Structure 1
Amino acid sequence: MNRALTRLYLALVAIFLAAPIVVVAGVSVNERQNLTFPPQGFSLSWYAAIFTDDSWRQALMNSLLLATLAATLAVLIALPLAWFLWRRIAPWANVFQLLGVAPFVLPPVITALGFLTFWTTAGAYGQWWTAIISHGIFFVTLPLVTLTLGFASIDRSLVEAASTMGASDRTVLRTVVLPLILPYLVSGFAFVFVLSLNEYIVAYMTVGFTMETLPIKIFNALRYGYTPTMASVSVFFVALAALIFGLVARFGDLPRLLGALSSDES
């Protein structure tokens, strides 16, 4: 009886979580230009508009460029920091980890206002590259966490053996450490990419409307009325995130990335 109730409860939770996605997906295939569910007719033209309409295509390219460069920057910041924290075991070193986690701990609107104030003071407000730097700093926590887990999984005797054979720190990092932490590095990149692709507040506060990403484009389009293209973009985001996280789960150690300990560590 308890098992049946548990399954029923989980089924209801699953339906509750999936219902908005089902509704949005239904709206995205409306034949007419309205947001109605169930859909009136069937058409994939709204998905095609993402790639054929100049404004939507430009917003998509801006979002992909921003997400790619921001994820790259976040990894470039997190990698040496995680490497330093792993090689230098000291209480004071945790200060650097706290600095890396701080941007993601604060409410997004507070962080966004901080970026707005900084870039305005620096005279760079509205420049496209400010959104890249802001997103890279804002999401640096994600690759920092995954890389910290990756470094923690390395057997230190391998590094000691390489050092004993005369390898420098740079050589050890390139030939021993990087191959071992590569899944964690790719996972951190993927997490930042997906979240940056969907982020609105920080991007809006740093570039305003001078660089339209897809979330900003959706907000702007709301002023002129609802169209199923907005729903199509939402479904596109969900499908892309599911694909990326599915690949991470397939080729990476997902339980480890989520913080689970191996049997040897527990």
Structure 2
Amino acid sequence: MTATWLRRVYFTIVALFLAAPLIVVAGVSVNSRQELSFPPVGFSLAWYAQIFTDPEWRLALIHSVTLAVCSAAIAVAVALPLAWFLWRRIAPWANIFQVLGLAPFILPPVITALGFLSFWATAGLFGLFFTAIISHAIFFVTLPLVTLSLGFASIDPSLVEAAATMGADDRTVLKTVVLPLILPYLVSGYAFAFVLSLNEYIVAYMTIGFTTETLPIKIFNALRYGYTPTMASVSVFFVAVAALVFGSIARFGDIRRLLGAMSSDGS
């Protein structure tokens, strides 16, 4: 009984410690006055409205959403055939492609961002919006690659064998058997890439930071001229979007499998 009570107290303290920064930021975001103070002075949601009504913040939001939607789609489009190939063609040399797919996310973000900066500057395309989309797609391709690889690994081989026995070719097997089974993993991979792209600063700044503002870039640029609670509102907005997306994955997807747990019948 004592051990259980101590464990609950410990985890409560840890949870409060982790939640404390978010509580402070959320409190600051509802200040009625334009100042950095906690507990908040008064209560106002005007700073949240400013994200959508102020032309500069609204444009930054549009840029961020466009970047996240497009880059996540490209990342999934690259990861899907690669994961399919790694699943169907088991060979030692095939692991090279898996390493290449994981490399952008393993390297320090600054190193990867400097690589993108050098490449696009050499190509004479630095500052163009599509370069950030491609860079984010490469940077975050690891996420859908991992989720899709887990999805392919969860497929019962007997289902594929049965389809092949009935005369289905690889394309038919992919469309009628494989894709319906890995759809939750595909959606999860897209969601992970979308959320992280929406929040990413370093790669975006290194590719388009001097020509186009996303929300993270807008926050850092705005800090040069002082502080407004709008910055805190954007931070809470990011957290809310992430919670909504990941909560949906936990509700409708196989979150235990995505976290690496084996199924009850697998070992």
TM band (smaller chain): over 0.9
Q: Which runs of 4+ in 1 moved over 3 A?
A: none
Aligned to 1:239: 240
TM-score (norm 2): 0.98
Report the CA distance between 1:4 and its aligned residue.
1.9
Aligned to 1:262: 263
Aligned to 1:187: 188
- The one-character-per-residue Cα deviations of 1:39-89 (angstroms, maximum 9, x if unpaired) are 111110000000000000000010000000010011001000000000001
Report the CA distance between 1:171 and its aligned residue.
1.4
Aligned to 1:169: 170
- The one-character-per-residue Cα deviations of 1:90-130 (angstroms, maximum 9, x if unpaired) are 11111110100000000000000010011111111101000
Report the CA distance between 1:264 and its aligned residue.
1.7
**In structure 2, what is the Cα distance between the partners aligned to 1:246 and 1:209?**
35
Q: Structure 2: give runs of 5+ residues left out of the alignment.
A: none
Report the CA distance between 1:209 and its aligned residue.
2.5
Report the CA distance between 1:204 and its aligned residue.
0.3
Question: What residue identity is the alignment partner of 1:239?
Answer: A
**In structure 2, what is the Cα distance between the partners aligned to 1:173 and 1:122?**
37
**In structure 2, what is the Cα distance between the partners aligned to 1:122 and 1:2?**
62
**In structure 2, what is the Cα distance between the partners aligned to 1:157 and 1:130?**
43
CA-based RMSD of the aligned residues comes to: 0.8
**In structure 1, what is the Cα distance between the partners aligned to 2:255 and 2:99?**
24
**In structure 1, what is the Cα distance between the partners aligned to 2:37 and 2:61?**
25
Partner of 2:210: helix, strand, or coil? coil
Aligned to 2:116: 115
**In structure 1, what is the Cα distance between the partners aligned to 2:197 and 2:210?**
17
Question: What residue identity is the alignment partner of 2:120?
Answer: W
Counterpart contact for 1:31–1:41, Cα < 8 Å: yes
**Greater Cα shift, 237-246 or 4-13:** 4-13
Question: What residue identity is the alignment partner of 1:149?
Answer: L
How many residue pairs match? The answer is 266
Report the CA distance between 1:262 and its aligned residue.
1.0
Aligned to 2:152: 151
Aligned to 2:125: 124
Aligned to 2:224: 223
TM-score (norm 1): 0.99
Report the CA distance between 1:136 and its aligned residue.
0.5
**In structure 2, what is the Cα distance between the partners aligned to 1:211 and 1:103?**
23
**In structure 2, what is the Cα distance between the partners aligned to 1:259 and 1:70?**
25
- The one-character-per-residue Cα deviations of 1:154-208 (angstroms, maximum 9, x if unpaired) are 0112112212222221111111100000000000000000000000000000112
Question: What residue identity is the alignment partner of 2:200?
Answer: E
Partner of 1:123: helix, strand, or coil? coil
Aligned to 2:254: 253
Identity %: 77
Question: What residue identity is the alignment partner of 1:60?
Answer: L
